[in-house]
């Protein structure tokens, strides 16, 4: 057996081990949510949907879930409204230090740990009266999801052909018409891909939400966290499984539509 073949086999085995390591926690949570027992045991015994019914009947997660959904929609919409003009402005700059610095600034929330952002917002919100308010949550989640939206939109913006913009101008279209009829349709894949990822990240955001909420504006991840303080049963696993399935379904849609490249920066 050649050295190259051995290397390929070893690389594939390593990739399988990494995938299993990453997926194992999710698999355990999903299996636990269907268990008949109220305590964790592996391998799980039996099959039951009682914990999903208990999560629904408890009434502890419905309001936080609705709040999380509305919050994710608003944060995603605001991120899109900010990302499109930011990406268009960055496109007009020639490649250089200024453009690189601005792009890094827009993407900086990806670099700063969520714990640091949460602590910073806690102190800031406490001074301006936004702590434990829905408006404060919207601002915090918009800050968190903006880099994902910006990265996806920027990839689409940099892929715009200048000839299309020039042709629209030559044919007498106003800047507003060019934006509406030429630019925005070309940005749809990037906007949709960024929106789906931003929505998922906002829906699943725990660390920052924990710091900027107390009791009035609890979102779903924080509600699950607080539930586990009092009760240790598969109800939390059932709610978490719903979130996992939703996230996987959204990622599958993005991958099948070929929009994942807008987040990776391919073609930029």
- Model pLDDT for residues 49-65, shown as the tens digit of each residue: 888 888 888 878 888 88
CB half-sphere exposure, 242, CA atoms < 13 A: 18
- CA-based nearest residue to 159, from 255, 104, 87: 87
Q: At 76, is the pLDDT very low, low, confident or very high (cuts 50, 70, 90)?
A: very high
Q: What is the 3-state secondary structure (H, E, C) of the chain?
A: CCHHHHHHHHHHHHHHHHHHHHHHHHHHHHHHHCCCCCCCCCCCCCCCCHHHHHHHHHCCCHHHHHHHHHHHHHHHHHHHHHHHHHHHHHHHCCCCHHHHHHHHHHHHHHHCCHHHHHHHHHHHHHHHCCCCCHHHHHHHHHHHHHHHHHHHHHHHHHCCCHHHHHHHHHCCCCHHHHHHHHHHHHHHHHHHHHHHHHHHHHHCCCHHHHHHCCCCCCCHHHHHHHHHHHCCCCHHHHHHHHHHHHHHHHHHHHHHCCCCHHHHCCCC
Q: At 28, is the pLDDT very low, low, confident or very high (cuts 50, 70, 90)?
A: confident
Q: Where are the domains of the chain?
A: 53-264
Classify domain 53-264 at the CATH superfamily level: MetI-like (1.10.3720.10)
More confident residue, 27 or 148: 148
Q: Which residues contact 213 (CB under 8 A, 6 or more apart)?
A: 132, 137, 219, 222
Question: Does residue 111 register a pLDDT over 70?
Answer: yes
**Given this model, what pLDDT does residue 268 score?**
44
Question: Does residue 125 register a pLDDT over 60?
Answer: yes
| Token pair of 254 as six digits | 């993005």
Question: Does residue 4 register a pLDDT over 80?
Answer: no
Question: Does residue 238 register a pLDDT over 50?
Answer: yes
Q: Which of 15-29, 132-146, 245-259 has the lowest mean pLDDT?
A: 245-259
What's the rounded Cα separation, in Å, for the pair 195 and 202?
A: 10
Q: At 267, is the pLDDT very low, low, confident or very high (cuts 50, 70, 90)?
A: very low
More confident residue, 258 or 92: 92
Averaging pLDDT over each range in 113-122, 222-231, 248-257, which range is the top one?
113-122
What's the rounded Cα separation, in Å, for the pair 100 and 42?
A: 50
More confident residue, 5 or 205: 205
The predicted model gives 87-105 an average pLDDT of 80
What percentage of the chain exceeds 70 in pLDDT? 89
Mean pLDDT for the chain overall: 81
**Given this model, what pLDDT does residue 78 score?**
94
Question: Does residue 102 register a pLDDT over 70?
Answer: yes
What percentage of the chain exceeds 90 in pLDDT? 10
Q: At 226, is the pLDDT very low, low, confident or very high (cuts 50, 70, 90)?
A: confident
**Given this model, what pLDDT does residue 175 score?**
72
Cα dihedral 127, 132, 138, 144 in deg (nearest 10) = 80
């Amino acid at each position: 057996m050649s050295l190259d073949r051995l290397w390929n086999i070893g690389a594939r085995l390593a990739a399988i081990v990494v995938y299993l390591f990453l997926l194992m926690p999710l698999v355990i949570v999903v299996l636990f949510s269907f268990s008949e027992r109220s305590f964790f045991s592996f391998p799980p015994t039996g099959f039951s949907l009682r914990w999903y019914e208990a999560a629904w009947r408890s009434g502890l997660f419905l309001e936080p879930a609705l709040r999380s959904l509305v919050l994710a929609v608003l944060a995603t919409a605001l991120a899109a409204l900010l990302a499109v003009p930011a990406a268009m402005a960055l496109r007009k700059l020639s490649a250089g230090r200024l453009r690189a610095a601005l792009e890094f600034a827009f993407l900086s929330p990806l670099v700063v740990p969520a714990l640091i952002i949460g602590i910073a917002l806690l102190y800031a919100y406490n001074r301006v009266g936004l702590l434990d308010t829905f408006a404060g949550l919207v601002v915090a989640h918009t800050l968190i999801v903006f880099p994902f939206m910006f990265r996806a939109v920027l990839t689409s913006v940099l892929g715009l052909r200048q000839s299309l913009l020039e042709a629209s101008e030559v044919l007498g279209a106003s800047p507003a018409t060019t934006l509406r009829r030429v630019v925005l349709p070309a940005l749809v894949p990037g906007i949709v891909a960024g929106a789906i990822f931003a929505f998922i990240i906002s829906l699943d955001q725990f660390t920052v939400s924990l710091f900027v909420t107390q009791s009035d504006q609890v979102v779903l991840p924080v509600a699950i966290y607080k539930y586990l303080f009092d009760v240790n049963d598969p109800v939390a696993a059932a709610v978490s499984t719903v979130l996992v399935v939703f996230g996987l379904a959204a990622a599958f849609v993005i991958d099948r539509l070929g929009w994942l490249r807008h987040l990776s920066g391919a073609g930029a």
